[in-house]
Structure 1
Amino acid sequence: MNEDASIESELRASISREVVLHREGSRWLVFTPFRFDDGDSFVIALHKDQNRWYFSDEGHTLMHLSYRIDEAMLQKGNRAEIISGTLSPFDVKNKRGVLVKDVEDDDFGNALYSFIQAIVKVSDVSMLSRDRVRSTFLEDVDNFLREVVGTGLVKDWIDKKYDSEARYRVPYAIETVRNPLWVFPIQSDSTVQDATIVMLKHESWGTAFEGVGIFEQQSTISRDRLARFSDVCGKQFSSLEGNRDRIKDYLQREMS
């Protein structure tokens, strides 16, 4: 197997069978199923500089954001600080508007996963909006789950065996007599895509779980992202309000 095919095989095994690696000149374009809210695909390229491999968005992510937010405002002040703080946990650097992620120890799969997660987080325009309105949805879900589940609820669960850097946290984990329930509160296209990435990663590690999605308003989620989320998340509730009794009955049934 040649080098290109070997890397592509690793990326497919780690992320999705839909990943395609295409050599173009001195770099490789990486096609994935992940997209921005408006449907545009993420731009990701794999580069090799002597013995150093790295992923780059070639400046596309912040350029894409500049369609809605003035580009100069993304490079300074509060928004620049938010972007920097968002990239840091994934070891992604912002080099004059170009996002870059080094591949450590030839682990292409984990590097690409982290890079995609960083793009997902940064591309959440609501996070950067000046007039951002705080939603009580996450607080409502938290209070509801604590009331229903009690001490059996684990918030921000981490797989210490595979995820020592805590990059693929599960918002809520509930132990049952069968597989644990993993609950994902979903507010937007960005959060549904992030949840999909987390579940796909744990799937690749062979972890057994039952995904549960609780939406703030499922009708606002794009059909394409909802379809991918549905592939890995078996139980979904279109909203918290109006479904409290159904969710409670489901959780108590699974825990009994």
Structure 2
Amino acid sequence: MSQEFQLHLTIKVKQNYSTMNFDVHKLQETLCSLMCAEVKIRPKNGTLLSIETPFYFADGDSYQIYIKEMPGGIIRLTDMGHTMMHLSYGNDTDKFREGTRGKILDQIKAETNIDEDNGEFFIETPVENLGSNIFRLGQALTKVNDLTFLNRARAESTFYEDLQEQLYKIVDLDKVKKDYFFEDMENAKDYPIDYRIEGKYAPLFVFGIPNKDKARLTTIILERLLRAKADFDSLLIFSDLGAMPKQDLARLSNAGGEMIASLDAETDFSRKLLRKINPN
């Protein structure tokens, strides 16, 4: 293979494109020139060629994509495991294979038709499909990279998974009642409590709050508990407290107890939880 090659791009247009004012052939030449300037191949070592692409991680590092020659004239486009390694610096990539994230990762691989082997993402392709598959692999790696956004801007289902995981790291499973109902309250099943834990002085009710709707529901539940003269303490854990509307937060503050601004505040979560629960 040559050290550099040009990707050939074909633009398909309708047969009646002559009615357009554009010079289609000129556009094709210009686009090919631009794309070829963005994608180049350079020797990496005796067995690999490195592909320069316009794909970058959020921190400015470029995607690592390589060509590896396989038997039978097949080319393997591979990231050599670099994407997962890069993401592991700021994320627990084991979580990418669990729960909601795991389902999304499987969906990404199915939609883009890429394979994975122990963290290495790759596509095997004949030479004539090399250009389109470079961009297909780049698209797949971008979607994998987007899984990191679930750590900060969590989808609701992922937030609850993460909350439960952190809770069970601190409190034994047998001491936690999930989806608890305070039976002494009228229509108790309409007002579920995420978790009940035996507290030092009163039962501790833990609420996860991923969005404003859950903030409003939690306010209603707390007010109902207070009206029923329930003896309890509460801990409110937000996905992102700063994103809550001020009015909703004010109403919730009046009814509720201590708050945790986000699941990323793990030390704060552990400290406030341990201060309230029964250690025995």
Output the TM-score relative to the length of structure 1: 0.46
- Higher normalized contact order (CA 8 Å, seq sep 6+, divided by chain length): 1
Output the TM-score relative to the length of structure 2: 0.42
From the CA coordinates, give the structure whose radius of gyration is larger. Answer: 2
